[in-house]
């Protein structure tokens, strides 16, 4: 099912226009992306959602996208800080909880890697990232969150810039949904990372 087509044209169009107006830039020289790739099209979702009304719009679009896919959840989050603003806004809008995955385990206090809500068996979690290109951050968050024993009910993003990440999650039995894709922005897709030779994960 193409969830971007069940979201509703008006809301999807609003998000597309917002991303193009506030977060999109194209240059003649390619940008180096955090995923390790290069693209002349640069999209900054954190800049896109920096204003309160814009953050609310994107959070509502995420909620509607998950609802359209029939996904119910208790908590939403992902790698800091790409997931943080929207996850917090979704929690405010829905009354659900948020969590944030640190890039590394703390070296003090409780030495935990996940902040916010307690993740444990019986909790239904959405793994979220604002923009997905190769899927590196989303996949890392998934591995960390799954290790807590929660049920990962979906992986979700506002903007999917590639072709393969959805298939990688679905092969693990995890639904994958995006509010918009590179097609909505009229830009070229970014290639996904290669599968690890031993079949035990991804080359990020």
Average pLDDT over all residues of the chain:
87
Cα(107)–Cα(162) distance, integer angstroms: 35
Outline where the chain has alpha helix (H): 9-22, 45-48, 52-68, 84-94, 136-146, 165-170, 182-185
Q: Is pLDDT larger for residue 29 or for residue 194?
A: 29
pLDDT bin (cut points 50, 70, 90) of residue 203 is very low
Inform me whether the pLDDT recorded for 197 exceeds 50.
Answer: no
Q: What is the pLDDT of residue 192?
A: 42
Q: What is the pLDDT of residue 14?
A: 96
Cα(89)–Cα(27) distance, integer angstroms: 31
Across 101-113, b (16+ Cβ under 10 Å) vs e yields beeeeeeeeeeeb
The pair of structure tokens assigned to 33 is: 């992306």
- Determine contact, residues 98/90, Cβ cutoff 8 Å: yes
Give 128-146 pLDDT, tens digit per residue.
999 998 899 999 999 999 9
Give 31-40 pLDDT, tens digit per residue.
777 666 678 8
Cα(106)–Cα(195) distance, integer angstroms: 30
Q: What is the pLDDT of residue 200?
A: 42
- Determine contact, residues 58/86, Cβ cutoff 8 Å: yes
pLDDT bin (cut points 50, 70, 90) of residue 67 is very high
């Amino acid at each position: 099912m193409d969830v971007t087509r069940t979201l509703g044209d008006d809301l999807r169009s609003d998000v597309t226009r917002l991303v193009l107006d506030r977060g999109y830039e194209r240059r003649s020289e390619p940008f180096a992306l955090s995923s390790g790739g290069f693209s002349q099209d640069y999209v900054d979702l954190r800049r896109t959602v920096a204003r309160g009304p814009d953050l609310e719009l994107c959070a509502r679009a995420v909620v509607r996208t998950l609802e359209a896919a029939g996904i119910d959840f208790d908590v939403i989050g992902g790698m800091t800080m790409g997931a943080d603003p929207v996850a917090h806004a979704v929690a405010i809008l829905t009354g659900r909880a948020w969590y944030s995955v640190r890039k590394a385990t703390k070296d003090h206090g409780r030495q935990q890697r996940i902040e916010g809500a307690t993740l444990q068996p019986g909790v239904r979690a959405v793994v979220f990232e604002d923009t997905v290109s190769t899927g590196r951050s989303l996949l890392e968050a998934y591995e960390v969150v799954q290790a807590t024993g929660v049920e990962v009910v979906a992986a979700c993003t506002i903007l999917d810039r590639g072709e393969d990440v959805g298939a990688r999650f679905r092969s693990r039995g995890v639904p994958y949904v995006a509010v918009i894709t590179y097609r909505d922005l009229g830009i070229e897709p970014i290639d996904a990372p290669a599968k690890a030779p031993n079949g035990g994960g991804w080359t990020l």
